[in-house]
Chains A and B, each alone.
Chain A
Amino acid sequence: MIELQHISKWYNVGGKPVFILKDINLKVKEGEFISIMGPSGSGKSTLLNIVGMLDMPNEGAYHFFGESVYNLKDKHRNELYKKNIGFIFQAYHLIDELTVYENIETPLLYQNVKSSERKAIVADMLDKFNIVGKKDLFPSQLSGGQQQLVGIVRALIAKPKLLLADEPTGNLNTAQGEEIMQLFQQLNQEEGVTIIQVTHSEKNASYGNRIINLLDGRVEPSLQNASH
């Protein structure tokens, strides 16, 4: 599904390149649940963003379902992204001015789904995740766990094949975090959604079936082998 080849990203500081990612090679098969771990500044989020097509490396190639992402036109890449990728953030990033319902509906608007269809899809999802009663509330009226749940539903609304999560439980307490992780596992096992998450927590990482350890922009080889 995903193939990253020789991905490097760096900034120039005083004429010298400072690497964030260095020669990353990564293959992800459909149906995997991967956790990216590593200390602060090791390049986890950058890697996730590159996979999510929100960021570009300075070097390297990226194939998504066999298509070379960096050789696509912006419009096609956006199309590929919209159809296949859902994003979840640590800070939820719901739109404050929109209700739960409207937040969830927004991705469908950008995919030009018809109004009647949108209604059906959103209603279905609200039902499935048991948040029908919250649909007319604004984000500020929800708890953190509830907000993240809305964030996840929003990410899933367009039926993406790949779910990317950047420390999804980072702002939540343990119980809320655990619920989210169970939800991830369920999505992965029952619906076959490929998930890549960035996390600090060993426990969260254990929900997945593979762990990638990053250190100073490189994949730690020993642990990579160990997880196989």
Chain B
Amino acid sequence: MFKNYLKIAFRYLSRHKGYTFINVLGLSVGIACCILIALFVRSEWSFNRFHPNSERIYRAWLEEFYQGEIFRNTATPIPLVPVLQAGVPEIELSCRIASMRPPVKYNNNIFNEEVNMVDSTFFKIFNFPLLEGNKQDPFSTANSIVISERASKRYFGNESPIGKNLEVQLGDDNILFTITALAKDAPMESNIQFDMVIPFSNASYIWSEQTRNSAWSNVSVASFFLLQKGTSVENVNQKAATILQPLVAKNYKPGEYNVRMQPLEDIYFNTTLPEGERGYSDPKYSYILGTVGILILLIACINFVTLSVGRSATRAMEVGVRKVLGAERKQLVRQFWGESILLTFIAIIIGFLLALASLKHFNQLANRELFLSLNSFTLIFSVILILVIGFIAGFYPAIVLSGFKPIQVLKGKLNIGNNMGFFRKALIVGQFAASIIMIICTLTVGKQLNYLRNKNLGFNKEHVIIVPTNKPRQLGNALGKRYELAIQKNPKVISTTTSMFSMAQLGWMSLGYSDDKGVFRQFRFNAIDENFIPAMGLEVVAGRGFLKNNTADSNMIIVNEALVMQYGWKDPIGKKLPGKYPQQVVGVVKDFHFESLHTPIAPLVMALKPDSMFAYSSDVSYNASPQPRVSVRFREGNVQEHIKSLEAAWKTVAADENFEFRFLDEALAASYEQEQRLGNIVKYASFLSIFIACLGLFGLATLVVVRRTKEIGIRKVLGASVPRIVTLLSKDFILLVIVASVIAFPVAWWALSKWMEDFAYRIDIPWWIFITAAILALVVALVTVSVQAIKAALTNPVKSLRTE
């Protein structure tokens, strides 16, 4: 029986090649999309889950209440880990991670490396396997260093790194480390990344003893805890509070200083806490892509159904005969379902091959290192796909066809599919609605991203490179000034400036204070030099910029319009911030976007000397490190050569330092990377969805035309012209696309408005995009249908009528 079904399925599919081709192609493309998106979403959701104990690993975060404001930080005080480890029995192991980017030297090679200074429990808590060297005790001495495969390759090629010595700059010292072990690279789906790992005992080179032992207001390291099995996190939070209370009592009332545990698995998708070292991802993007994947698959399934329905007239005859031969309905149901599952199976194999072929491109698009292999995930995924698609796609033929009455079918009395039934119309409308939604979204997302890229930020971002000094403030400023001097004579350089943060850091420092009325206020802050405003092209709208060699300016500040507005100053020059700060406003700059366009422009203060500002602030927080950067504006021309000369100059002032640089415009574009990536993926997806929908439409048009051959013949005999016949045949389809548009518009508008909420600066969704999408879908549908219609209209009527 089964063999018989299989045989007839194969024969049927090979006999109707066009039908099979359209069905399998549409479905394979849909499945390929779905596989790629599933891989991406899976990668998103598997972040930090590769540690066997990941469910028991927690990261501590700090919640401070100050003057009615809440401050959250994922960086924590250094003494937190030893204090909690000693006092909370539920903590099995704990580990501090201090991430740094110091220069590392081997022979004459210097690279800035991601170095994690960690407690020795690091390799016990986390799953970062050691491949070579002392796997049991990699931190036998304070000068041990573990290197990742990637970094090892950079320094030693294919040689074994074990026993080699590296010089790492910690604070002001260059320390010699000996490589004791080689570690596997951290997977991409990890918030903890490293090139090298050194013992935490080296902390003394960086932090004072006071900071290391008792500075509860300084946040410097990430703190991770492995809790005992079955531990209640609430319990640990409470114990931590009890232990910490006496230690912070001097500055905080009870309940104002809280340490809380956040599950490791929660870090990547939790957008409510500060980003920490590795950033997070909005789970929204997984949902959006997941929806897109399901939509495409649905469109492909609908193809399958509409085509089966179209063919049902032919299949009905077979159903009739089989019933006369004694077939029961359930046997026929099984046969049809078997057929659609077989077709799906073929499509899945092709889909996998397509996905495999496009994986490299998709990885670039999504910025991932996804790979496709035959593992339990892909197997289960395919089985589910086969069953779901086979079930959905085979539903109509299985249920409807098997119900036909044999007499009616065999007598030719059953009038099925001469016109498109309501069911099929609804399916086509659904397909086109989905496609139109995707086109609208693609166009609008593209436009919004374009707007972000081209929006006037209030400063000139072109032809600027940012060179970080990677040094603490005093040293960094000194180095920056030396470097500026070294390149000032360079004819390619227009201007230079050294500042704590450059325009490439999209989060500047945030300072908070209580004003004279006791109201807590916050503003953004940057320490700049007198060249910053002219070099960046900022516009001074009142007063003046900082002047060179004007010592009085050390006590002056420059603010932006947003700050003036917030304080309601009519004449801002000479004003002081209401409260403790002694600095006077000497100039006001026009608002510019020093943060990404996701957020509105915040009040800003800029000063030459930050220390006195810090001294009067009660809260200082920052995401980017406050190590000074040099911004260099250069002339247009051969960029590579410019960079070479800038690098040569760097070597004259900092021979031991790696020359790092970033183009400002690229750095700014990176802040919209996630949106850009999403936009690209949606673009491809909408193109494919239209393609699949058109395949289905083409198949359906073919069927309708074939079925109406006789009618067309008669109409031609009666004198109908070719255009009239084409119009007749296309009319129905056009109406469907119009109905689809009407459904798609509000859905697309709603989805886009939701997405746009993320941007403080956004375009109005232009109405013409809706019209464009509808017209696009209409034209594509019309072309598809017309090809068939014209062919039918040109056929000699004698031919079609004679066959009757």
Chain A proximity of B401: nearest CB distance (Å): 14
Q: Which of B1, B8, B317, B407 contacts A54 (CB 8 A)?
A: B407
Contacts of A49 in B (CB 8 A): 407
For residue B326, which residues in chain A have a CB less than 8 angstroms away from its CB? 78, 81-82, 107, 110-111, 158
Q: Verify if B12 is at the interface (C-beta below 8 Å from A).
A: yes
Contact with B along A85-108 (1 / 0, CB 8 A): 001010101111110001001110
A111–B326 alpha-carbon span in the complex (Å) = 8
A98 to B326, CA, bound (A): 16
Bound Cα distance from A106 to B1, whole angstroms: 9
CA distance A78 to B406 in the complex (A): 13
* Whole-angstrom CA separation of A158 from B321 in the bound complex: 15
Assembly CA distance A113 to B776 (angstroms): 57
Known: A97-B11, A106-B322. A89 touches B410 (CB 8 A): yes
How far apart are the CA atoms of A75 and B411 in the complex, in Å? 24
Q: Does B70 contact A (CB under 8 A)?
A: no
B328 interface contact, C-beta 8 A: yes
Over the window 326-345 of chain B, the binary record of Cβ atoms lying under 8 Å from chain A Cβ atoms (1 yes, 0 no) is: 11100100000000000000
CB contact list, A20-70 vs B, under 8 A: 45, 49, 54-55
Of the residues A45, A82, A109, A112, contact of B4 by C-beta under 8 Å: A109
Residues from chain A with a CB closer than 8 A to the CB of B325 are 87, 106-107, 110, 154
Of B1, B11, B407, which one neighbours A55 at CB under 8 angstroms?
Answer: B407
A94, closest chain B residue (CB): B321
Shortest A138–chain B CB gap in Å is 9
From A45, which residue of chain B is reached at the shortest CB distance?
Answer: B411
Query: Residues of A within 8 Å of B, CB-based: how many?
Result: 27
Give the nearest-CB partner of A138 in chain B.
B11
Question: Size of chain B's interface in residues, with CB distance under 8 A?
Answer: 22
CB-based nearest B residue for A166 = B410
- A149-165 CB mask vs B (1 if < 8 Å, else 0) is 00000100010000000
**Contact across chains for A97 and B327 when beta carbons are under 8 A apart:** no
Say yes or no for B324: interface residue by CB 8 A criterion: yes
Do B406 and A54 have beta carbons less than 8 Å apart? yes
Q: Which residues of A contact B321 (CB under 8 A)?
A: 93-95
> Which residues of chain A are within 8 angstroms of B11 by Cβ–Cβ distance?
97-98
Report yes or no: A98 in contact with B8, Cβ–Cβ below 8 A. yes
User: Does B320 reach chain A (CB closer than 8 Å)?
Assistant: yes
Task: Collect the chain B residues with CB atoms within 8 Å of residue A110's CB.
Answer: 322, 325-328, 331
Q: For the complex, is B539 an interface residue (Cβ under 8 Å from A)? A: no
Closest-by-CB residue of B relative to A88 is: B324
Interchain CB contact under 8 A, A78 and B328: yes
Cα–Cα distance between A49 and B410 once the two chains are bound (Å): 12
- Listed residue (B1, B15, B321) with the most chain A CB atoms within 10 angstroms of its CB: B321
CB <8 Å contact, A102 and B15: no
CB distance from A131 to the nearest CB of B (A): 18
Chain A residues with Cβ under 8 A from B406's Cβ? 54
B324 A97 Cβ-Cβ under 8 A: no
A97-B322 Cα distance, complex, nearest whole Å: 12
Q: Inside 8 A of B164's CB, which chain A residues have their CB?
A: none
Contacts known (A93-B410, A106-B4); A54 close to B328, Cβ less than 8 A: no
- With a cutoff of 8 Å between Cβ atoms, the chain A residues found around residue B411 in the complex are 45
Q: B426 CB to closest chain A CB, in angstroms? A: 30
5 contacts between A and B (CB under 8 A): A49-B407, A94-B321, A96-B15, A106-B4, A110-B328
Interface of B with A (CB < 8 Å)?
1, 4, 7-8, 11-12, 15, 317-318, 320-322, 324-328, 331, 406-407, 410-411
The 10 A-B pairs of least Cβ separation, nearest first, read A82-B326, A110-B326, A97-B11, A107-B325, A93-B321, A87-B324, A110-B327, A54-B407, A97-B8, A106-B325
7 new A-B contacts at CB < 8 Å, known A81-B326, A89-B410:
A75-B328, A93-B410, A102-B4, A105-B4, A109-B1, A110-B327, A110-B331
